[in-house]
Amino acid sequence: MPPRSTVNSNFPNSTAMEEFLKRNPSTCAIQVLWPSYSGALFAKLIPVEHCRQLALEKAPLCSETSSIAGIVPAALVNNLLLESQSKLELMPDYGTLRKISSKRAAVLCNVKEDVDLKKGLKLQDGFERCTRSALRRVIAAADGVGIQVRVGFEVEFYLVRLDDLGPERSWTSSLSISTQGHTRPWSSAWALDLLPYGDCIDTCLGTLHEARIKVQCYHAEMSPGQYEIVLDHLPALDAVDTVLITKQIIRRCAQAHGFRAVFQPMPFDGAAPTGLHAHLSIHQAETDNDGGKIPQNFLAGMLYRLPALCAFTMASLESYDRRMWNQGGVVATGANVAWGTDNKQVPINQIAAGHWEIRTLDWTANLYLAISSFVSSGLLGVQDSLPLLWGDASLIGGTTGENNKALPKSLQEAIVHLTEEGIWLGEYMGDSVVRLYLTVRIAETAYMLQQLSDEEREELCRAHF
Tell whether the model's pLDDT for residue 425 goes beyond 90: yes
**85-92/104-116 β-pairing:** antiparallel
pLDDT category, 163, cuts 50, 70, 90? low
Tell whether the model's pLDDT for residue 402 goes beyond 60: no
**104-116/29-35 β-pairing:** parallel
- Using a 10 angstrom Cβ sphere, with 0-12 exposed, 13-18 middle and 19 or more buried, the burial of residue 175 is middle
Distance of CA 408 to the CA centre of its chain: 19
Helix 367-383 vs helix 131-144: angle between axes, to the nearest 10 degrees? Answer: 30
Strand partners, 392: 339
- Residue of higher predicted confidence among 79 and 423: 423
Task: Report the candidate in 363, 431, 444, 421 with the shortest Cα–Cα distance to residue 134.
Answer: 431
246-283 pLDDT, tens digit each: 999 999 999 999 999 999 999 887 788 999 999 999 99
Contact 411, 307 (CB under 8 A): no
Lowest mean pLDDT among 175-189, 315-329, 405-419: 175-189
Distance of CA 449 to the CA centre of its chain: 23
d(CA 249, CA 163): 21
The per-residue b/e assignment along 393-424, b for 16 or more CB within 10 angstroms, e otherwise, is bbeeebbeeeeeeebbebbbebbebbeebbeb
**330-331/41-47 β-pairing:** unpaired
The per-residue b/e assignment along 190-204, b for 16 or more CB within 10 angstroms, e otherwise, is ebeebeebeebbebb
Lowest mean pLDDT among 95-99, 148-152, 172-176, 220-224: 172-176
Q: Which domains are present in the chain?
A: 14-129 (3.10.20.70), 141-464 (3.30.590.10)
Contact 64, 74 (CB under 8 A): yes
Tell whether the model's pLDDT for residue 85 goes beyond 80: no
332-373 pLDDT, tens digit each: 898 999 999 999 999 999 999 999 999 999 999 999 999 999
Highest mean pLDDT among 10-14, 55-59, 176-180, 254-258: 254-258
- Residue of higher predicted confidence among 147 and 165: 147
| pLDDT for residue 460 | 85
Task: Report the candidate in 431, 339, 335, 332 with the shortest Cα–Cα distance to residue 376.
Answer: 431
Averaged over 181-210, what is the pLDDT? 74
The per-residue b/e assignment along 91-108, b for 16 or more CB within 10 angstroms, e otherwise, is bbbbbbbbbbbeebbbbb
Cα-Cα-Cα-Cα torsion 98, 101, 103, 105, nearest 10 degrees, comes to -20
Task: Report the candidate in 192, 150, 140 with the shortest Cα–Cα distance to residue 428.
Answer: 140
* pLDDT, averaged across the chain: 84
d(CA 77, CA 69): 7
H-run or E-run covering 49: helix 48-56
